[in-house]
Chain A
Amino acid sequence: MIRNGKKNYNLIVGSIITGFILLLILVGTFYTPYDPDAMDAASKFAGVSLKHPMGCDNFGRDIFSRVLEGSRTTFIVAAGTVFIGTFFGIIMGALTGYYGGIVDEILMRFNDAMFAFPSILLALLFISLFGSGKYQVILALGIAFIPSFARIVRSEFIKCKNMDYVKNAKLQGASNIRIMFVHILPNTVTVLLSAIMIGFNNAVLAEAGMSFLGIGVQPPDASLGRMLSEAQTYLFSAPTYAIFPGLIIILMVLGFSLLGDGLKSEE
C-alpha cells in the first residue's frame, strides 16, 4: 500500500469502507438485533436510541435490522448481476475478438445498439416482460450488463491475439480454446477487474433505483432501494428512515470506487 513513500489513500480508505460493509453483511446473515420483519406498534417511528440504533419505521420495525438484511439483498443482486454480465461477456467477447469475421461484425453491431441503450431502460424492458422480484432483477440487469463487458473483453482479445506469446502457444500446438482461456484471459484480468468494480457499483445503483420504483425486489425481501421508497412517504416525520439506507448505499458504492481507483494507481 505504500509506494514511492506515498501512501495510497484511495486503497486504504476504500478497503476500510468495503471491509466495514462486508462485515455488516456477514453479521447480518447470521444475526440481526431484531427480526427484520417483526412489527411493533409501540415503537412506531421511534427515534435513534441505544435500543434502536437507527430508529424504527412506520410499522415499528427496527431499521438497523432491516438495513442489515437489505444491504445483503442489494449485495447479492449486484454480485449476481456482475457475475452474469462478466461470464457471458467474457464468452462473447473472447469468441468475437479471437475469431473476428462476419459473426463478430453482426454481434458487435448488435452490441453497439444495446450499448447505446441506457441499462436501466433495458432492465425495465426485461422487468416488464419477466415480472418483478429478486431473481428477475438479477436476470434483467445481468443481461443489460453483458454488452459492456463483451466490449471490453473483445478489445483486449484483439490486442492480445497477435502477440508473441500467443503465436508461441499456437506453435506448441495449443488448441484455440486453450489459447483463449488459459493464455489470453489471464492477461485481461487487470482491465476486467476495474470493469467489474465499476459494473458492481452500477449494479448497486440500478438495483436500488429499480426497487425504489417498486419494480425490483418485492416484499417480504428487504432492499435498500425499497426502504428508501417507503421512507419517502414519511420523509418529513421521520427523516432518519430515509437517511440510513441511503447512507449505506453511498458507502457501498464509495468503498468499491475508491478500491478500484486505488488498485488502478497501484499498477
Chain B
Amino acid sequence: MKYAGKKVITMIITLFAVTLFVFLAFHFISGDPATSMLGTEATPERVEALREEMGLNDPVLLQYGRWALNFLKGDMGISYSYRMSVSEMVADKIPVTVTLTILAFLMMVVIAIPLGIYTAKHVGGVIDRIIYMINQVIMAFPPFFAGILITLVFGRILKLFTPGGYVSYQKDFFGFVGYLIFPAFAIALPKAAMAVKLLRSSVISESKLDYVRTAYSRGNSTKAVLYKHVLKNALIPVITFLGMALADMIAGSIIIEQVFSIPGLGRILLTSISNRDYPVVMAVIVCISLLVLVVNMVVDIIYGLVDPRISIE
C-alpha cells in the first residue's frame, strides 16, 4: 500500500511539473493571447483592456495557478479560432482516442503473448525462424504505413470496411468499434512484434537459471516448468514493456487517426497546431499527458504486485 501511495504522489508531482512546463513554454514563446484573439488590427487600448480582463498582467505563477485550477474544474479556456469552450471541443474526442488505444492494446496482448510463448518453446525451429524474420520486418514498419497498407488490403481489395467511413460512437457504438478495429490493428502490429521478441528472449534467458534446472530435477514436465515457473518470471519485463507500449499507443494514435480520418484528440491537436490555437493545443497535450501518466502509474502499481521485490526496495 505504501508503495502504491508513493506512486500516486510521484504521478501528481510529475503532472505538476509537466503542466508547469507546458504552461511556461506557451506563455513565453507563443506571443500575446490578447493580440491573437483580437487580431493585429485591434487598437492598443483594446488589447490592454483585454489583457487586464484576462489577467495577463498578473505574475506568471499566479496565472499558472489560475489556469491549473480552472483546468481541474473542467474549464480549459476559450479556443482562439472557434470562440467556443475548449472543454466542449475536447470532451467528446477523449472517448474516441481512449477506445482506439484500448482496442489496440488488447490486440497487441492477444497477438503477442501466445506467439511469444510459442516461439520460446520452439527456439531454433523453422516456424520460430520465420516468425523472427517477419517480426524484424514488422518492427521496422512505421504505424501509419501499416495503416495505409491495411486500408489498401482490407478496405480496397477485401472490402471489409469503408475507408473514411467513420461512425460516431454516439450514433452506433458497434459500427464505431467495427471501424476502429482496423486502425487499432495498425497501431498494435509493430508493438506486438516487439513484445513477441522480448517475451521470447526473456523466456530463453530465464530458462538458463538454476531454479529451472532444480524444477526439472524434481520431476516436473517441460510444460509444468514453463507455465508454473519460467513464465511467472519471464513475464515481468514484458509487463513493463506493455505499459510503455500503452503509453506510446496513446501518442501513436495521433498519427493513425489522421490515416483513417478519425475525429479524436490527435485530429483536433493537429488542426489547432496549424491554426496556432494555443489554448486547444495546451488542453489536448495536457489531456494526453494525463492519460499517459495515469497509465504509467497503474503499470508501476501492477508491477509492484506482480513482483514483490520491487515494492520492498
A and B associate:
yes
Interface residues of A (CB under 8 A from B): 109-110, 112-113, 116-118, 120-121, 124-125, 127-130, 201, 205, 208-209, 212-215, 225, 228, 231-232, 235-236, 239, 242, 246, 249-254, 257-258
B195 interface residue per 8 A CB criterion: no
Known contacts A121-B288, A254-B136, A254-B137, A232 near B259 by CB under 8 Å = yes
Closest to B293 in A: A116
For residue B261, give the distance in angstroms from its CB to the closest CB of chain A. Answer: 10
How many interface residues does chain B have, given as a range?
35 or more
Chain B facing A: main interface SS? helix
For residue B161, give the distance in angstroms from its CB to the closest CB of chain A. Answer: 14
Interface residues of B (CB under 8 A from A): 13-14, 17-18, 21-22, 25-26, 29-30, 136-137, 139-145, 148-149, 151-152, 156, 247-248, 250-252, 254-255, 258-259, 269-270, 272-274, 276, 278, 281, 285, 288-289, 292-293, 296
- B255, A209: Cβ atoms closer than 8 Å: yes
Residues of chain A lying within 8 A (CB to CB) of residue B22:
125
- A117, B289: Cβ atoms closer than 8 Å: yes
Q: CA of A109 to CA of B156 in the docked complex: distance in angstroms?
A: 48
* Top 5 A-B residue pairs of the complex, sorted by shortest distance between their CB atoms: A118-B251, A253-B140, A254-B140, A246-B145, A128-B273
Q: CA of A258 to CA of B293 in the docked complex: distance in angstroms?
A: 32
Residues of chain A lying within 8 A (CB to CB) of residue B21:
113
Contact of B142 among A128, A130, A208, A257 (CB under 8 A): A208
Known contacts A232-B259, A236-B156, A110 near B270 by CB under 8 Å = no
Known contacts A213-B255, A235-B152, A257-B136, A117 near B145 by CB under 8 Å = no
Contact of A246 among B148, B273, B276 (CB under 8 A): B148
- B142, A258: Cβ atoms closer than 8 Å: no
Contact of A121 among B14, B136, B143, B251 (CB under 8 A): B251
Residues of chain B lying within 8 A (CB to CB) of residue A121:
251, 254, 285, 288-289, 292
Q: CA of A113 to CA of B151 in the docked complex: distance in angstroms?
A: 36
Residues of chain B lying within 8 A (CB to CB) of residue A215:
270, 273-274
Contact of B273 among A109, A112, A124, A239 (CB under 8 A): A124
- B255, A112: Cβ atoms closer than 8 Å: no
For residue A145, give the distance in angstroms from its CB to the closest CB of chain B. Answer: 15
- B152, A250: Cβ atoms closer than 8 Å: no
For residue B7, give the distance in angstroms from its CB to the closest CB of chain A. Answer: 12
Contact of B148 among A127, A129, A130, A228 (CB under 8 A): A228
Known contacts A250-B137, A254-B140, A120 near B14 by CB under 8 Å = no
Known contacts A129-B30, A213-B270, A257 near B17 by CB under 8 Å = no
Residues of chain A lying within 8 A (CB to CB) of residue B137:
250, 254
